[in-house]
Amino acid sequence: MKAAYLISLLSERGWTENRTNPDLVLCIGGDGTILRAIHEYMDQLDQLSFIGIHTGTLGFFTDFTEDELVSMLECLKSKPSMEEYSLIEAFFPETGNTLYALNEIRLESISQTLSLDITIDGDYFEKSNGSGICVSTQAGSTAINRSLNGAIIDEGLSVLQLVEIMPIAHRNHHTLRNPYVMRKDRVIELRSEPMREVICSYDNLKYKLQGETQVVIRLSEHRVRFARFRPYSYLRRLKNLF
């Protein structure tokens, strides 16, 4: 389905298109499309909500299928309930830079071992040697976290999940290895030698580190809102994954 077609259907029904200051952002595609839209409107998240129309299999962030267009247009007349999801953030104290994500934040080095000292709430936790770490939200638990053998976190639970990416383990060095699902107010601090060959991925975006030695990851106060015009079944979506 082309956006132009949906726009024409909506304008026939009295809606106006406003790409710079929208109240409602309609996304046609998959979960990846919604992630891109969220990042596009990152600095306006408190003024708008999202609704997704999926063109593939039912995603976690999409509510309507293409062939439900007519019923979606009907639904748009009613008042939606708003479902809020907290973002996760990575703060770089040396530069003052903050990155936000809905699914997850990853610190990753592909070709060289990345050695990270992990402190949680000020307590030293472990030294992770491997390809890096992934910290995901509840919403992100079904995304790359799942491929990293992280746990699926049920809807409605507000937690953070830390998993290591390809950890090195031998007689003299081991780490927790299991996914650590932690309280939402935990603060994860990572320290390392100056990181230059390290990428910080945040959802579909990435930032190449410039020699930073410190990253602080926590749940953000910023949230994204999804407009729900009808009941949402998490289990149906979960079943669609496999």
Residues in contact with ligand NAP by CB under 6 A are 30-32, 35, 56, 59-60, 103-104, 139-140, 142-144, 147, 203-204
The one of Mn ion, ligand NAP, none whose footprint includes residue 143, by CB under 5 to 8 A per kind, is: ligand NAP
Which residue's CB atom is positioned nearest to Mn ion? 30
State the Cα–Cα distance between residues 138 and 157, nearest whole angstrom: 7
The partner in contact with residue 212, picked from ligand NAP, Mn ion, none with C-beta cut-offs of 5 to 8 angstroms by kind, is none
- Distance of alpha carbon 87 from alpha carbon 190, whole angstroms: 19
> Can you give the binding site for Mn ion, defined by CB under 5 A?
30, 56-57, 59
- From the list 23, 31, 43, 154, the catalytic residue is 31
**Nearer Cβ to Mn ion (56/80):** 56
Nearest CB to ligand NAP, comparing residues 59 and 130: 59
Which of ligand NAP, Mn ion, none interacts with 132 (beta carbon under 5 to 8 A by kind)?
A: none
Q: How far is the CB of 56 from Mn ion (least distance, A)?
A: 5
Nearest distance from residue 91's CB to ligand NAP, in Å?
19
Rounded to a whole number of angstroms, the minimum distance from the CB of residue 196 to ligand NAP is 23
Whichever of 61 and 126 has its CB closer to ligand NAP, that residue is 61
Which of 144/195 has CB closer to ligand NAP? 144
* Nearest distance in Å: CB 171, ligand NAP: 31
Shortest distance in whole angstroms from residue 59 CB to Mn ion = 4
Active-site annotation holds for 31: yes
CA-only gyration radius of the chain, Å: 20
Q: DSSP states of the chain as a string?
A: --HHHHHHHHHHTT----SSS-SEEEEEE-HHHHHHHHHHTGGGGGG-EEEEEESSS--SS--EEGGGHHHHHHHTTSPPEEEEEEEEEEEETTTTEEEEESSEEEEE-SSS-EEEEEEETTEEEEEEEESEEEEE-TGGGGTHHHHTTPPP--TT--EEEEEEES---BTTB----S-EEEETT--EEEEEEEESS-EEEETTEEEE--SEEEEEEEEEEEEEEEEESS---HHHHHHTT-
Of 28 and 144, CB closest to ligand NAP: 144
Q: Could you give the residue numbers annotated as active site?
A: 31
